[in-house]
């Protein structure tokens, strides 16, 4: 009996020694990762019962939230920052999931746009590739620079305020010399009219100056040399052509009227007749009535004291009043040939216009 007990203990000792040898061998063979593998295995078993929590979003709100991961930031710090930003409920669950799936070794520094409708699984994967983060930004036809600044604030993803951008483009701001010379912009003038209307995909860390560079570069690329040279051949600087185009843009609802409206204004300019464009009066009010483009009255034609008021001042106003589309710029430079000097809104609510050669004909087009 004693020999049997001694044999059992000897076997047990040999088994323990064998286990130690195997563990030590695996430890060195895996460069010490055997412990991590064991812990990961246990965590995976634990997470199997929490799949519903991993798939559940914080809420149904999909409004983008700007979230920054700094260089060297680990899963623990990220997890608690996510909870602080109201993007996840359980930092511990995020940490465990990131470890099990290997995301904790792949998190990438950068700026991300997350939302509460994303789950822990989705957020963890997103935070491994900052190159997919961008700001989608739309600049609208017929918008003035103040409206563009408002759009920056409303977008919510920029790391700067619209007022900071506005400081770069208002009258008296330092002009980009090369662009100003190319476009014929007078010294000290604003960059109104040159914020090219388009949809931009911007890097999340963009600055006001880089945004301005992007807008001006797009303007120069889309307008091109041929339109600029065509304007110069007509004794118009590009700045003057864009000024006229901005008025056309604000007057027309439909692009297929751009060239015909342009013909009216070019015909008036050719005989030194006042443009008498309502949008220039609106612009001259400078938002003083709670809107950048308020309703105006006939009295405003004479009472709005502004150099932009083309009822009071003949010729083109000092500069553009809004950002025109490429169609409006093309129309200003290549107007339709017509004998019209007047136009007014049609009476059918179509937003088209009726055109007339004489003032008497213009009166007959009244509703």
Number of H helices, E strands in the chain: 16, 6
Average pLDDT score over the chain = 89
Please state, as a whole number, how many other Cβ atoms lie within 10 Å of the Cβ of residue 203.
Answer: 16
pLDDT band for position 24 (cuts 50, 70, 90)? very low
For Cα atoms 71, 155, 144, give the angle at the middle one, nearest 5 degrees: 130
What lies within 8 Å, CB to CB, of 10 at 6+ separation is none
Span 165-223, pLDDT tens digits: 999 999 999 999 999 999 999 999 999 999 999 999 999 999 999 999 999 999 999 99
Span 31-75, pLDDT tens digits: 545 445 556 666 777 777 888 888 989 999 888 889 999 988 999
pLDDT band for position 281 (cuts 50, 70, 90)? very high
Span 291-332, pLDDT tens digits: 999 999 999 999 999 999 999 999 999 999 999 999 999 999
Three-state SS for 150?
helix
Q: What is the DSSP string of 284-301?
A: HTTTTTSSSS----TTHH
Residue 82: HSE in the Cβ half-sphere, 13 Å Cα cutoff = 33
What stretches of the chain adopt beta strand conformation (E)? 65-69, 110-114, 135-138, 199-202, 342-345, 353-356
Model pTM above 0.85: no
Cα separation, 202 vs 144, in Å, equals 21
Give the chain's largest Cα–Cα span.
131
What pLDDT is attached to residue 45? Answer: 74
| Burial of residue 83, with CB atoms counted within 10 A of its CB: 0-12 exposed, 13-18 middle, 19 or more buried | middle
What pLDDT is attached to residue 138? Answer: 95
What lies within 8 Å, CB to CB, of 81 at 6+ separation is 67
Domains of the chain and CATH, by start: 51-132 (3.30.1490.480), 145-336 (no CATH)
Cα separation, 23 vs 34, in Å, equals 8
């Amino acid at each position: 009996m004693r020999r049997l007990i001694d044999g059992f203990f000897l076997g047990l000792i040999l088994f323990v020694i064998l286990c130690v040898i195997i563990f030590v061998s695996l430890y060195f063979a895996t460069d010490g990762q055997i412990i991590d593998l064991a812990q990961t295995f246990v965590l995976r078993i634990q997470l199997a019962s929490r799949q519903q929590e991993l798939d559940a979003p914080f809420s149904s709100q999909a409004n983008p939230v700007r979230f920054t991961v700094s260089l060297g930031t680990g899963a623990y710090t990220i997890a608690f920052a996510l909870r602080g930003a109201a993007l996840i409920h359980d930092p511990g669950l995020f940490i465990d999931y990131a470890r099990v799936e290997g995301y904790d070794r792949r998190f990438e520094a950068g700026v991300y746009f997350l939302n509460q409708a994303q789950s822990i699984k989705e957020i963890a994967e997103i935070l491994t590739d900052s190159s997919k983060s961008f700001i989608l930004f739309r600049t609208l036809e017929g918008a003035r620079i103040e409206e563009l600044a408002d759009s920056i604030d409303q977008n919510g993803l920029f790391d700067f305020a619209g007022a900071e951008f506005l400081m770069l483009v208002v009258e008296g701001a330092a002009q980009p010399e090369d662009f100003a010379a190319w476009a014929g912009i007078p010294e000290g003038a604003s960059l109104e009219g040159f914020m090219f209307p388009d949809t931009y995909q911007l890097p999340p860390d963009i600055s006001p100056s880089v945004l301005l560079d992007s807008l001006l570069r797009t303007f120069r690329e889309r307008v091109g040399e041929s339109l600029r040279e065509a304007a110069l051949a007509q004794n118009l600087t590009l700045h003057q052509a864009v000024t006229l185009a901005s008025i056309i843009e604000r007057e027309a609802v439909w692009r297929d009227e751009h060239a015909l409206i342009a013909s009216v204004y070019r015909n008036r300019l050719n005989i030194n007749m006042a443009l008498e464009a309502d949008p220039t009066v609106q612009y001259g009010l400078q938002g003083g009535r709670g809107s950048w483009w308020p309703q105006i009255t006939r009295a405003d034609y004479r009472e709005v004291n502004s150099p932009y008021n083309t009822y009071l001042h003949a010729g083109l106003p000092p500069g553009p009043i809004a950002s025109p589309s490429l169609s409006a710029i093309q129309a200003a430079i290549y107007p339709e040939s017509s004998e019209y000097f007047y136009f007014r809104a049609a009476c059918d609510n179509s937003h088209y216009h009726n055109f007339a050669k004489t003032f008497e004909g213009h009166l007959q087009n009244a509703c």
